[in-house]
Structure 1
């Protein structure tokens, strides 16, 4: 890269290395062309009108890439399914979600990209719930030009990593609710779980297709779980009775019919959470905090299940970093540290 003073007619395809100001008396004084702008044929007349006959430009060598072109390369390397890129502005390219869903980030590949001194790529947190049209990432290079060799290495990272930033659409899941507790079953207290869980399911495009109430009876809970499987539910949410109290038999009932991934989570609120499966049907045990606390471990796990992810023991353990809710008033979730470790 070298700096040259040239006639404007000879500048097409070259890059400005300084801002050019436009002054309209009584109207404005501002930037007409920005440093880093690649000059095109259509700019010549404008430059003449600004009284410019010569300009300082950067001559891009064969082994160099302009910042805007580099931004496009980075955007294409990062963008996976249901993500599109915007045109570059000052080399920055934004990545936009094209569907409602769960944001998936290949964090290892993202780290590798940012290990290059002149490359910047930042994203929303992994597993964020995002909406169509929302910006999920941004990327750019720092200098006006960057070595082509670096961009080739960037492409190689993309080839090896596959999708680095993608959005998994939420499935139109059918959900069964099983509300346990003798006191609710007998009408001694009013059920508060159903409206809370229904709202969470519908917010992500799912549908509650069956609601059952059972007393604290292991056999009856077990049969209701089986019944919801027969009804074709994709997800079964079993609420209440998840502690170690003598009357709390929900965990035993789930264990008797499902393969338990993890009982107990390093998340507060939500320690007595249970994740399990019957085949590909997710059976989730929800502790009492899910009824009266706005945000719990369920809000970290359920979107991933709704997007079709299979939850592992490692997934739940990894929630420990960031798993403590600050209980802010008012609640700012998901724009907070909860579950974002």
Structure 2
């Protein structure tokens, strides 16, 4: 794949689902991977903040994210599960029968130690039923800012907060759905040590305890949010080993 200016994207094939967020209206993929960009799409893409797009330019040794998702599905699915359609590079497995869900935790941890792929599951030895999915917390918000999609501005804002003694700086980029998000490189530009690109649970905070890559990859088991109608986190098994 290659990165091009959105204004020049007509006729190119998108490599990723692109999510449109309109507060109170929608938060879903507006354009699906494989979509051929038209001239009419360009103003919409720009309104979504997509100044650049990754378009398909397949090279030897590379996989489309859908292909990778199907390979991970093949590793996990058995005859008592069915899969959801692939969406934003993700597939969910759903139980077809009541039973005991068991995970080969050692193999899961080994796979999650690889870059750019991950599997999150319910806890091993969890009782599940047919149709079950198998796969703000005491902090004072002192200030927030909107530096925009500008790498230098994001870095400057983070360093400013650090200099003023802010204990936890959260950068709410969209790396999981927007591959051209400037946030990862902006974070690196601050001089911070990147312990892991992508954590296996959402959300995950650290408070005074150094977190290692091994700690994060071990959270694949139990790292699947079930999307309950009423969230009771942290009084639930989510994110607990």
TM-score (norm 1): 0.33
**Normalized per residue, which structure has more helix?**
1
Question: Highest CA radius of gyration, 1 or 2?
Answer: 1
Q: Which has the higher strand share?
A: 1
Higher relative contact order (CA 8 A, sep 6+): 2
TM-score for the superposition, normalised by structure 2: 0.44
